[in-house]
Amino acid sequence: MHSEKAYQDPDLCRALLQRLKNTLDGRSLRFMEVCGTHTVAIFQSGLRSLLPTEVTHLSGPGCPVCVTHDAEVAAFLDLAERDSLILATFGDLLRVPGPGGRSLKHAKAMGARVEMVYSPLDALRLAMAHPGDMVVFLGIGFETTAPAVAATLRTARERGIGNFCVFSLHKLVPPALRTLLEDTENNIEAFLLPGHVSTILGVEPYAFLAQEYHVPGVIGGFEPADILLALCRMAECLQKPSVVNAYPRAVDNAGNSRARALLEEVFQPSDALWRGLGRIAQSGLALRPQYADMDAVQRLGISLPHVPPLPGCRCGDVLKGRIAPPQCPLFAKKCTPSEPVGPCMVSTEGSCAAYYKYTER
Ligand code: SF4
């Protein structure tokens, strides 16, 4: 077992960079990562500027806050204004701008009961501390975060806590990859697959990438050598596409069956709206009928309103890899981390925030 530090070794990274150059031998590699942690890791480690010129790095829809659709943002902003209700949310969602520039932060300043929490269990504790109020947890994230929400719902059921429910905005990665590949204008040659999500899914749910679209997919870790090794494997697979687990110290090929069973018990796949990608069939997670009493959508009658897109914001194109953040006319002018116009500038895992923080302007 190696320590994570071993994967930061400069000599190892240099050797992997050389291997990448040799394998490519002048061929281009246009790859997309679909994980906010990869986005940040690639910038933070300085890898982006070291990659061979043949390699083009695209950031895809891997940041949960960024892919939350305008209609979903409008729905939870409306929810925040209801009486006898406490909205519990992760910090990043507080600053996401909705219609008219409203955000949960503004709503809280105007008196709405919005509480920042660090886990769904914190939200459940909030419900136990306020038995006279309904606590609604905003569930966002991918296959990695949804099991903790499922476990919390099960705990709430076991303890008979009746004033807790979840507004599930969770999303599933594989259907989004398929949607990205269906649109050939996106021109993606390979995917760096998300290490965290893959700890739950394993390898098989990505098999369609190679089998149906002839695009390689490589599961990668987050240290510089992990990312470079994943790129080497990608380059080696270009001729004969396959799906590879290049992060075996964290990802079992079979994934985590217990976590998937928990998801299966509490959630069922549902159609979902994604910023930039639109409605994708069976790409979300809705609560199963057995959990209807804890489903905020049913219990509180939530519907997603039609709302206009954020004026001037190109987050949708950024999330599809169509443009790099600096190509958005608002980047670093009207839109900055302290005054974000779109969600990709809000989240620390957003592409626009990463470009703003780590690239020269
Ligand atoms: S720079 Fe701002 S407005 Fe432009 S795409 Fe990024 S988040 Fe959206």
Task: Name which residue leads in pLDDT, 204 or 3.
Answer: 204
Q: Give the model confidence (pLDDT) of 23-56 as tens digits.
A: 999 999 999 999 999 999 999 999 999 999 999 9
User: Is 328 near ligand 1, meaning CB less than 6 Å away?
Assistant: yes
Q: How far apart are CA 307 and CA 193, in angstroms?
A: 32
Query: Mean pLDDT across the chain, nearest whole number?
Result: 95
d(CA 64, CA 142): 7
Q: Based on the fold, state whether residues 33 and 154 are members of the same structural domain.
A: yes
324 in the same domain as 218: no
Q: Supply φ then ψ for residue 245, to 5 degrees.
A: -100, 100
351 and 203 in a single domain? The answer is no
For residues 198-211, average pLDDT: 98
286 with 229, same domain: the answer is yes
State how many domains the chain has: 2
Report how far ligand 1's centroid is from the alpha carbon of 313 (Å). 5
* Mean pLDDT within 235-260: 97
Nearest atom of ligand 1 to the alpha carbon of 314? 5
Q: How many helical (H) and strand (E) elements, i.e. helices and strands, does the chain have?
A: 17, 11
Same domain, 75 and 159: yes
Q: Are residues 281 and 346 in the same domain?
A: no
Closest atom of ligand 1 relative to the 340 alpha carbon: 2
Q: How far apart are CA 223 and CA 45, in angstroms?
A: 8
Residue whose CA is at the smallest distance from ligand 1 atom 1: 331
Q: CATH number, domain at 200?
A: 3.40.50.11740
Q: Is the pLDDT of residue 162 over 60?
A: yes
The pLDDT of residue 2 is 61
Element (H, E) at 200: helix 195-201
Cβ neighbours around 164 below 10 Å, total: 27
Q: How far is the CA of 329 from the centre of ligand 1 (A)?
A: 8
Is residue 55 located within the same domain as residue 134? yes
pLDDT over threshold 80, residue 3: no
Q: Residue 255 belongs to what domain range?
A: 1-315
Per-residue pLDDT band at 361 (split at 50, 70, 90): low
**Closest ligand 1 atom to 332 CA:** 1
- Nearest CA residue ID for atom 3, ligand 1: 313
Same domain (yes/no): 259, 136: yes
Predicted confidence (pLDDT) at residue 1 exceeds the cutoff of 70? no
Residue 318 Cβ contacting ligand 1 at under 6 Å = yes
Same-domain check for residues 62 and 79: yes
Interval 288-301 mean pLDDT: 97
Q: Is the pLDDT of residue 257 over 90?
A: yes
